Amino acid sequence: RNRRAQAMSTEAAQAFAFRQLVKHLQVRTDVQNIDQMNLAGFCRNCLAKWLFAGHVMAAGGSPEASRSYTDCLADVYGMSYGQWKSKYQAKATPEQMAKYKETSELHAKHPPVVEAAAKAAKKKKKPASSSSASKSPAAPATSSSTAEVKKSTSPSAAALSDVCCRSPEEIAKSLAADPALVHPNVGLGVSGETVAVPAGFEMRVAVLTVSDRASAKEYEDLSGPAIEASLEKFSKSSARSIKVIDRKVVPDDVTAISAVLKEWADGKKPGLILTTGGTGFTKRDVTPEATRQVAERLALGLAAAVTIESARSEPFALLSRAVAAIRKNTLIFNLPGRPKAVEENLVLALPTVMQAVYQLQQELSV
């Protein structure tokens, strides 16, 4: 599998592990946050802050556009933070506090300005959901607090919690200033991103292969079948219905290409038309021109994002002139001509494409 597919599988596995960890902690209400911090260096509030940080990153660094920290706390605790504290949080025992003090030199360290802000927040008695700093002691940096470990091991900066004792506002501010937020994969990728599309929705697709030689029967069309195979695979992984209603092969000719695009969009009205071939730099590569000719609106961001992401593993992908466009209630999306490139592009595009098709098709039922 290509690197993008591997990355998606890794992200899905990591998300599953997080969900299982949260589920386990929701069941283990007998485990206090201070015990987690003394032993592992993080608590449930840290998980909520990491979750909040992830939402802010997904929103391009904007906390206003992301899920709130209060909601993230509820996601982790399985109820509001206030409810959990009322039901399950116990007063720290002398033994727990002694352990906490014993590991004090391993606690996350913060600049004076941060400590001052934490004290000010505590004085104002802000709600627990806005900051765990006023409610819980700082988390230790490592999973061990024994004297022997402290003597033999010096915790690295990476081992220190990057969310403990920090307010959601501070986390959001630091994320917004982080260059790593220029995330190339936002909006592309895993089938889980189709959750906004109802399970009963069926995406009807027409496939157009553009090739002089394939249309002349000089060689077998491999790209069209590659598209259908990718659609079938995505349908299974996303649990969404996809039906190919027509498939044709035409030569590299603007008139021939545009005629089929019009016929399908105006007549059979598929939600999606996928073209393959004719997106390069030669004079016979005219699929983008034919697509623009029949387009009522362009959706250039989608095609550009897929092209740029593809170039991470195949630099020559930047030589694609593919476009995406809308005619009536049909999305037309250009794909390259090579079967392997077709598969890689569809892995990236299909989750977002299905959402776009769903939105366009809803207008038909209004």
| Backbone region of residue 322 per phi and psi (left: phi > 0; alpha: psi in -120 to 50; beta: other values) | beta
Q: What is the pLDDT of residue 53?
A: 80
Here the tokens at position 195 are 């959750």
> Among candidates 79, 175, 170, which has minimal Cα distance to 132?
170
Residue whose pair of structure tokens reads 């190919």 in the numeric block:
244
Q: What is the pLDDT of residue 323?
A: 97
Backbone angles phi, psi at 269, to 5 degrees: 50, 55
> Among candidates 75, 86, 69, 78, which has minimal Cα distance to 27?
78
Q: What is the 3-state secondary structure (H, E, C) of the chain?
A: CCHHHHHHHHHHHHHHHHHHHHHHHHHCCCCCHHHHHHHHCCCHHHHHHHHHHHHHHHCCCCHHHCCCHHHHHHHHHCCCHHHHHHHHCCCCCHHHHHHHHHCHHHECCCCHHHHHHHHHHHHCCCCHHHCCCCCCCCCECCCCCCHHHHHHCCCCHHHCCCCCCCCHHHHHHHHHCCHHHCCCCCCCCCHHHHCCCCCCCEEEEEEEEECHHHHCCCCCCCHHHHHHHHHHHHHHHHCCEEEEEEEEEECCCHHHHHHHHHHHHHHHCCCEEEEECCCCCCCCCCHHHHHHHHCCEECHHHHHHHHHHHCCCCHHHHHCCCCEEEECCEEEEEECCCHHHHHHHHHHHHHHHHHHHHHHHHHHHC
Q: What is the pLDDT of residue 27?
A: 87
Residue whose pair of structure tokens reads 């599309």 in the numeric block:
197
* pLDDT of the chain, 366 residues: tens digit per residue: 455 555 556 777 788 788 888 888 998 999 998 888 888 778 888 888 888 887 777 665 666 666 788 888 888 999 998 999 999 999 999 998 898 778 766 654 433 432 343 344 345 444 444 333 334 333 333 333 333 333 333 444 444 566 667 777 777 777 666 544 433 333 455 444 444 688 789 999 999 999 999 999 999 999 999 999 999 998 887 888 999 999 999 999 999 999 999 999 999 999 999 999 999 999 999 999 999 999 999 999 999 999 998 887 788 999 999 999 999 999 999 999 999 999 999 988 998 999 999 999 987 765
Cα 163 from Cα 171, distance rounded (Å)? 7
Q: What is the pLDDT of residue 197?
A: 83
Cα 236 from Cα 241, distance rounded (Å)? 8
pTM of the model: 0.52
Which are the contacts of 314, defined by CB distance < 8 A and separation ≥ 6?
A: 341, 344
Q: Which amino acid is at 3?
A: R
